[in-house]
Copies of this chain bind each other. A is one copy, B any other.
Amino acid sequence: MPPREEGTCEARVVHGAKLAALAPLLPNAEGVQAAAERFRVLGDATRLRMLLALSLSELCVCDLTELLGITQTAASQHLKILRAYGLVRYRKEGRMAFYRLADSSLLGMLSGLRQRAGGREVANGGQSG
């Protein structure tokens, strides 16, 4: 009969051994934080649509602005975030900046998402033209 720990939850006694075994199996805080931040970057619909578009083709900011129906400011700010997390790269050509995916590991996820989330009615198949 172990003495109750100072806390209130009696389960600490019941599950104490399990917790002690689990704790060292969890990644350290920084690793989880980094992974969570990466997920959070993907957790915005506008950014996700940007990445989906860039998974299909290199595009300039103007293209993204029009394709996604957002303002140029919004596009530029989201691209800044995607750059900061190393998800996109860009090259400048004159006044224009052409962005493309930097992380090829995203390609699989994005193409899977395109298929699961549904590329509009493209599955239509054989049109007469």
Contacts and interface: CB of A to CB of B under 8 A. Distances in A.
A11 to B, nearest CB: 4
Chain A at the B interface: SS class: helix
A48 B41 CA distance: 14
A28 B120 contact: yes
Nearest to A72: B9
Nearest to A46: B36
A114 B26 contact: yes
Interface residues of A, number: 54
Contact of A43 (B9, B18, B19, B36): B36
A40 B26 CA distance: 21
A76 to B, nearest CB: 13
Contact of A19 (B29, B63, B113): B63
B66 A19 contact: yes
